[in-house]
Structure 1
Amino acid sequence: MTLSALLFDKDGTLFDFAQTWNGWALGMLTELAGEDTGRLGAMAEAVRYDLTERAFRPDSLVIAGTNDEVAEVLSPHVPQMSEADLEQYLIRTAGEAELAQAVPLAPFLSDLRASGLKLGVMTNDGAHSAQRHLTRSGVYDHFDMVIGADSGFGAKPDPDPLLAFCSHLGVAPDATAMVGDSRHDLIAGRAAGMRTIGVLTGLARAEDLADLADVVLPNIGHIPDWLAQA
């Protein structure tokens, strides 16, 4: 098998989902709720966040959803903001979240580029947040293209943004692998005609991804060895 390109999801793939987003979510929900504990509980339930465990549940919309989808479910509990303002609040605060890299990204991505692979990111987060996170991590320039759910190509599990990446870089879908931690990522990859690589740095278990993945790896750091053996 010869691949020309790797297209990565962001949250749960390049960045460990729980270590990055559990703490951010608690701060975000607490700030929006103010002193209203009832509202806090209602918002946490809306996004399937366990206040006792301080962690997202595996069925949370936030794992693979877009900012506008998250704002839509939170909006009934945040009367002080319009849904559009709430979406912007989510984008702004998420852009400053403490990021936990799944592996040291700069050397990992440098080695992939040195091997001749084209690299991209397709996230259901917004493009601004994605650029901010990758820039703060010192790796934005390692990618040939970064696509968000608001970049005009659609969102996963639709394959269109994945195919836009291939078209932009002139690589064939069947010479590209979609790398992600959720079924949304892998469904999109399969629909685009790509190889699919599942990773376990999100909240999904190996058995949740196995039927959609060519391989399920502990984290992205195992990709080079898999490529060498495949």
Structure 2
Amino acid sequence: MKRFENLKAVLFDLDGTLVNTLPGLTELVNQMRSDFDKPPLSEEKVGKYIGKGMFVLVRRAMTDSMDEPFPEEMFNLAVKSMARHVEAGRYSKGVLYPDTIETIKYVKNLGLKTAIVTNKPYQMTLDTLAGKGLLELVDLVVGGDSAARPKPYPDPLVYACEKLGVAPEEVLMVGDSGNDSSAAKQAGAQSILVRTGWSEGVPLDEIAKRDEAAAMIDHLSDLQALLPAKEGAHA
């Protein structure tokens, strides 16, 4: 695709894009809810609440709603509960989607820089990545607490560009939700959306149109066909 001829870096979201972390996040949510004598939520429900980072997930999970207000004192207690369960580590760290490793290797072999840009806290991101063979393949990891504001704000992408030494217009963001494509659009980068994750209950087609995503793909491996040949990667 001609629009990717000047590409120098590909940024990947983590949850729902590279790794299926829904079972583990559901475990954490329900461990937290149990501390407050609340019944467990289903994976389907938790999947809808994922996307804007752990603080938002805590509020949504505790209120079982997308935007219902939650008293600050209770919210602070819930955040502490979630932090304890994350630190205890008694939850699934997730499973790689098929062809995740192969696709990132393909991107690297084109001579492009790679980064993971997620709203998951940085240390929790490292815990998720441990033992999966991904850390060795990326040049940078940006967590939800690495920049001033998380996605859908552009801050994490701008931060990644600065660290990688590339301009936003030379970057492609690959993610599964509007948090990724909106952050990319605001930063001046392009985006591709993959249908493997969760989009907060908003149809991905609507998100792609809103944020002018370059493409939507069914599987991460479909990205390979959209990238330029090696000789054009730095054109």
TM range (shorter): 0.7 to 0.9
Residue 77 (structure 2) aligned to one of 71, 82, 91: 82
Shift in Å at residue 25 of structure 1?
4.5
Aligned to 2:39: 40
The answer to whether the 8 Å contact 1:127/1:151 transfers is yes
Cα shift readout 1:31-73 (whole Å, capped 9, x = no counterpart): 345498x7216xx3xxxxxx4xx42366x33x21211222344
The answer to whether the 8 Å contact 1:178/1:195 transfers is yes
The answer to whether the 8 Å contact 1:119/1:143 transfers is yes
What are the ranges of 5 or more consecutive residues in structure 1 without an aligned counterpart? 45-50
Residue 114 (structure 2) aligned to one of 107, 115, 119: 119
Shift in Å at residue 135 of structure 1?
2.2
- AA of the residue aligned to 2:101: A
Matches within 5 A, 1:78-227: 82-89=77-84, 91-92=86-87, 96-204=91-199, 205-211=203-209, 212=211, 213-227=213-227
Shift in Å at residue 100 of structure 1?
2.4
The answer to whether the 8 Å contact 2:192/2:217 transfers is yes
Aligned to 2:66: none
Structure 2 residue 53 is the aligned partner of structure 1 residue 66 = yes
The answer to whether the 8 Å contact 2:147/2:159 transfers is no
- AA of the residue aligned to 2:45: F
> Matched residue of 1:7: which SS?
strand
The answer to whether the 8 Å contact 1:95/1:133 transfers is no
- AA of the residue aligned to 2:58: A
Shift in Å at residue 109 of structure 1?
1.6
TM-score by length of 2: 0.77
TM-score by length of 1: 0.79
> Matched residue of 2:123: which SS?
helix
Partners of 1:129 and 1:25 in 2: how far apart?
Answer: 11
Partners of 2:159 and 2:53 in 1: how far apart?
Answer: 18
Root-mean-square deviation (CA), in Å?
A: 3.0
Shift in Å at residue 116 of structure 1?
0.3
- AA of the residue aligned to 1:92: E
> Matched residue of 2:97: which SS?
coil
Shift in Å at residue 167 of structure 1?
1.0
Shift in Å at residue 98 of structure 1?
4.3
- AA of the residue aligned to 2:9: A
- AA of the residue aligned to 1:222: D
Shift in Å at residue 117 of structure 1?
0.7
Larger deviation: 159-168 or 148-157?
148-157
Cα shift readout 1:4-35 (whole Å, capped 9, x = no counterpart): 1001111111123xxx31x3354334434549
In the superposition, relative to structure 1, how do residues 102 and 88 fare at CA in structure 2: closer, same or farther (>3 Å)? same
